[in-house]
């Protein structure tokens, strides 16, 4: 058995952050029942270009492996009836909606405790369910700006830059997954469920980590650094070689000593201006240009060989294709293949979260579900017969899905991104 096979999660999720978090739980064996709203065409991630056709996209496939999809309009009385039956059978209700929406939809613990006293209601919102911004939609780009990230990303003197990936979204998904598992653990121990109030804003601010501590305690002012340099450890940055770029990091004094030998400049190891971390930081304007001139004299490959041999932290700066084709990526089985009726063989990435002996094989993932693919199967699992399902359908519990050419909805205001 996989570690989470005894956990059932009912998820009202969409787009990136929420589905990213629950996907890792699904790969660990949790049953994730993805509730899709028929009135809005389901998860908006199904329509993200460029690789989108009808109700499917490769964006959606990236975040929804190993899940089930159920079409359900929980705003209707009939849909609410089905939702409550799902809650009775579940360990958690998981969502990523705007901060005021969980109350409106009735998916907080206070709303569901009578249905299932042990239910854990995990809400990942843009700004949390309290505070002056709680009613605002939150997206990764917005949170990188508000959270201070863009002020420290990019070259000095240039425009503010966002990180190349949606790291607030993805980190928020991991935070929500951790909180959800903690909530389930406590509910099983104590017999009482709870709310988990997570937000992308909290995630973004908390990831300021040690620069925030330096600022709050010592008055430090974080700034953008030349060639992505570490704010205090010198050298630890990208260097330009004669044919490309590499990163070299001296996070310990021994690495600095070894680097001076590799560079053929053992003399500077004894230079009092560069003797310690603090000395090199104070004199970085002298040291870094000297090192940059040296690194430009050889190719990336010519530098990497002696750097690897000396066990100095280093790496070539690769394109995305290079990272995906790296032998270590292959050895760690990070790329998964799933079959899709529209896109054929889809190659995407597996979860990095692993439980088991090193090198142990894990089951191949299932591709993302078609919209509503598992509605009838999940309801039969709840004990519904065909007559009841037909009656619920007639009462509007499952809505009606617009045809693909009309299905692309506007981005829901309740999405956290």
CA separation, residue 380 to residues 82, 360, 384, 388 (Å): 11, 35, 5, 10
Query: Which tokens sit at 262?
Result: 């590799």
Q: Provide the token pair at 332.
A: 């760690």
pLDDT, tens digit, 9 for 90 and up, residues 111-129: 999 999 999 999 999 999 9
Cα of 291 vs its chain's centroid, Å: 36
Residues 6+ apart with CB under 8 A from 219: none
For each of the domains in the chain, give its residue range(s) and CATH number, in order of start.
8-206+332-406 (3.40.50.10540), 245-316 (3.30.1540.10)
Nearest to 14 by CA among 48, 45, 41, 38: 45
Inter-residue contact 15 to 417 (CB < 8 Å): yes
- CA nearest neighbour of 36 among 59, 60, 58, 52: 60
For residue 70, name the pLDDT band (cuts at 50, 70, 90).
Answer: very high
> What integer best gives the mean pLDDT of the chain?
93
Contact 280, 274 (CB under 8 A): yes
Lowest mean pLDDT among 153-167, 244-258, 353-367: 353-367
- The b/e string for 196-206 (b: 16+ C-beta within 10 A; e otherwise) is bbbbbbbbbbe
pLDDT confidence bin for 356, thresholds 50/70/90? confident
For residue 411, what pLDDT band results from cuts at 50, 70 and 90?
very low
**pLDDT at residue 269 is higher than 80:** yes
Of 184-193, 221-230, 399-408, the one with minimum mean pLDDT is: 399-408
pLDDT of residue 360: 73
Instruction: Verify cis geometry, omega within 30 degrees of 0, for the bond prior to 235.
Output: yes
Instruction: Quote the tokens at residue 24.
Output: 């890792």
Q: Cβ neighbours of residue 238 under 8 Å, at least 6 residues apart? A: 227, 228, 229, 245, 246, 247, 317
Q: How high is the pLDDT of residue 407?
A: 41
- Judge whether 344 and 51 are in contact, CB under 8 Å: no
Confidence of residue 44 (pLDDT cuts 50, 70, 90): very high
Q: With a cut of 60, say whether residue 405 has pLDDT above it.
A: no
Measure CA of the first residue to CA of the last residue in the chain; give whole Å: 33
Share of the chain above pLDDT 90, in %: 90
Query: Does an H or E element contain 91, and which?
Result: none
Rg (CA), the chain: 25
Residue 285: CB atoms within 10 A of its CB come to 8
For the segment 265-283, the average pLDDT, to the nearest whole number, is 94
CA 160 to chain centre: 22
| Among 282, 300, 312, residue whose Cα is nearest residue 239 | 300
Q: What is the DSSP letter of 417?
A: -
């Amino acid at each position: 058995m996989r570690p989470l096979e005894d956990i059932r999660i009912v998820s009202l999720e969409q787009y990136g952050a929420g589905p990213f978090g629950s996907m890792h739980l699904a790969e660990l064996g949790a049953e994730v029942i993805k509730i899709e709203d028929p009135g809005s065409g389901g998860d908006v991630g199904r329509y993200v270009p460029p690789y989108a056709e009808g109700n499917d996209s490769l964006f959606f496939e990236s975040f929804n492996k190993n899940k089930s999809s159920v079409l359900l309009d929980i705003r209707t009385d009939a849909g609410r009836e089905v939702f409550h039956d799902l809650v009775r059978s579940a360990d958690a209700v998981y969502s990523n909606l705007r901060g005021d929406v969980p109350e409106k939809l009735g998916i907080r613990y206070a709303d569901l405790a009578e249905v299932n006293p042990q239910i854990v209601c995990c809400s990942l919102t843009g700004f949390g369910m309290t505070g002056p911004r709680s009613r605002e939609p939150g997206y990764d780009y917005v949170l990188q700006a508000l959270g201070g990230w863009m002020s420290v990303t990019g070259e000095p003197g240039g425009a503010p830059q966002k990180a190349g990936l949606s790291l607030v979204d993805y980190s928020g998904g991991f935070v929500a997954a951790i909180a959800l598992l903690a909530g389930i653990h406590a509910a099983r121990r104590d017999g009482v469920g709870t709310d988990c109030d997570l937000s992308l804003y909290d995630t973004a601010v908390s990831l300021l980590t040690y620069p925030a501590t330096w600022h709050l305690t010592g008055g430090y002012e974080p700034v953008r650094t030349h060639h992505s340099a570490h704010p205090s450890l010198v050298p630890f940055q990208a260097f330009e070689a004669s044919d490309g770029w590499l990163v070299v990091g001296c996070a310990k004094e021994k690495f600095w000593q070894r680097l001076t030998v590799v560079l053929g400049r053992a003399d500077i190891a004894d230079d009092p201006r560069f003797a310690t971390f603090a000395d090199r930081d104070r004199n970085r304007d002298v040291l870094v240009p000297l090192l940059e001139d040296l690194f430009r004299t050889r190719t990336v490959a010519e530098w990497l060989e002696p750097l690897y041999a000396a066990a100095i932290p280093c790496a070539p700066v690769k394109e995305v294709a290079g990272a995906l084709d790296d032998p270590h990526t292959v050895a760690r089985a990070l790329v998964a293949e799933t079959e899709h009726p529209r896109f054929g063989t889809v190659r995407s990435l597996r979860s990095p979260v692993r439980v088991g002996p090193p090198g142990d094989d894990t089951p191949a993932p299932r591709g993302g579900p078609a919209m509503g693919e598992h509605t009838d199967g999940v309801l039969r699992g709840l004990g519904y017969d065909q007559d009841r399902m037909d009656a619920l359908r007639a009462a509007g519990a499952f809505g009606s899905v617009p045809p693909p050419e009309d299905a692309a909805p506007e981005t829901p205001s309740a999405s956290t991104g």
